[in-house]
Amino acid sequence: MKTYSTKASDIQRQWHVLDASGKILGKLATQAAILLLGKHKPIFTPNLDTGDFVIIINAEKVRFSGGKEEKKVYYRHSGYPGGLKSVRLEEMMQADPTRVIEHAVKGMLPTNRLRAVRMKKLKVYVGEAHPHLAQTGTSKKED
């Protein structure tokens, strides 16, 4: 019996729509990371991007556990002395809720050269509307 090795021509990508309303951020990010990695497929290979496209809607309705709205702080540094910036989760959710979800999913992906390629397959939107209706196979109801 020969060992199966996944080739780039074997990869078939699908589109998945995840609704963030009422879901906890960590569980949503884990689910999105698994789909982006392609771990739900039998052809998963760590050195190839076998993952699917993921659309997350209703980013502003995501929930947090453990009082993270007040406690969690995101840090970044410019590289210059005194260049440490900090933003609380509450402030970031008011400014741009999509960045919170993107940051959580990015942290759950392995740090390698495929990380940026996989992150391009993640689309996060505030509200229910998204421009990928043709890819997902769903259509708007017209009354």
CB 89 within 8 A of CB 24: no
143 pLDDT higher than 70: no
36-39: list long-range contacts, CB under 8 Å, 24+ apart. 36/105, 36/109, 36/118, 36/119, 36/121, 36/122, 37/109, 37/110, 37/118, 38/11
The confidence score (pLDDT) of residue 142 equals 44
53-92: per-residue pLDDT in tens? 999 999 999 999 999 999 999 999 999 999 999 999 999 9
Q: Report the 10 Å Cβ neighbour count for 31.
A: 18
**Counting beta carbons within 10 angstroms of the beta carbon of residue 40, is it exposed (0 to 12), middle (13 to 18) or buried (19 or more)?**
middle
The confidence score (pLDDT) of residue 137 equals 74
* 141 confidence band (pLDDT: 50, 70, 90): very low
CB 28 within 8 A of CB 100: no
| Domains present along the chain, CATH in parentheses | 14-64+96-135 (3.90.1180.10)
Q: What span, in angstroms and rounded, lies between the C-alpha atoms of 85 and 15?
A: 36
The structure's pTM equals 0.89
Mean pLDDT score, 111-126: 97
Task: Report the chain's mean pLDDT, rounded to a whole number.
Answer: 93
